[in-house]
Amino acid sequence: MPIRTPPILTMTDAFSVRGLNVVVTGGNRGIGFGICAAYAQCGANVAVLCRDRAKGDAAAEKLRSYGTVCVAAACDVASDESVRAAAGEVFGAFPHVDVLVNNAGISTVSEFLRDRDLKGWHEVINTNLNGPARMLYAIVPRMIEAGRGGSVINISSIGGQALGGARTHPMPPYHVSKAALDMFTRNMAIELGDYGIRVNAIAPGPTHSDLDRDLPPDAFEKFEKLMPMHRFAEPIEIGALCVFLSSPAGNQITGTVLVHDGGLLLIA
């Protein structure tokens, strides 16, 4: 029989994620750390996954100040072996996982035909698309075994829906990886629904993160002038949306790609 997530009948604890065990890839900095902080501040336990174990440990130490269990594991989502090892560490620390946030991602700026031997293409696709697939493959079977339902959230981008600036700032593999991640999200929502596992994506627009350095010099002024909300988002705001999606209030939401872009797509 399918697992049916219960509806909320009252607003009491409707947005609570207290006590949930959450895994976030690329969680040591930028949007990833904002997501981790949002969960920890709301009472969830967090596993910070990133390539540099020392940086992950430092991030987890900061998160512990909010009073929850926060751990770190080294993980390169572009490597099958690394993902398997990290999953083993996660389940060594947590008896089960309730939420998986696939945040780790990279980009490259180059015209497609100038990408020597397709090096940039393969690196970006392997991280941004194959990485979430690897993580889901390693974590979700144990979520199914636990029988608790849960939530998978893929951090996509409005770059998967529009090509604003592509003529002057070409990023073909990035745009393709995010568009494909959106479709992967929808597929997994269908496949995992019977197990009570919801799968959604968040498509951030301009958000302060390490990817800021890849933007053209005039991007900040241009975006802030044109965007209806006239500012870049902060990482914790993406985290707030993650918290909502994995709370009881989000129990009926699956297979969606939620845009969080200050209205940029309206004028892109």
- Say what the pLDDT of residue 224 is: 84
Q: What is the mean pLDDT of each run of 10 residues along the chain (268 residues)?
A: 92 98 97 98 98 98 98 98 98 98 93 91 97 98 98 96 81 95 98 98 90 69 87 96 98 98 89
- Say what the pLDDT of residue 51 is: 97
- Say what the pLDDT of residue 38 is: 98
Residue 219 CB partners (closer than 8 Å, separation 6+)? 165, 169, 206
- Say what the pLDDT of residue 23 is: 98
Residue pair 179/203 in contact by the 8 Å Cβ criterion? no
Instruction: For the chain, give the longest Cα–Cα distance.
Output: 57
Locate tokens 């969960």: which residue? 39
- Say what the pLDDT of residue 212 is: 65
Q: Which fold has domain 21-258?
A: Rossmann fold (3.40.50)
Alpha-carbon torsion 136, 5, 256, 100, what sign?
negative
- Measure the CA–CA gap between 144 and 83, rounded to whole angstroms: 18
- Say what the pLDDT of residue 85 is: 98
Residue boundaries of the structural domains of the chain: 21-258
b/e sequence 20-32, b meaning 16+ C-beta within 10 Å: bbbbbbbbbbbbb
- Say what the pLDDT of residue 166 is: 72
Please tell me the pTM assigned to this model: 0.96
- Measure the CA–CA gap between 29 and 36, rounded to whole angstroms: 9
- Say what the pLDDT of residue 143 is: 98
Which residues are tagged catalytic?
A: 174
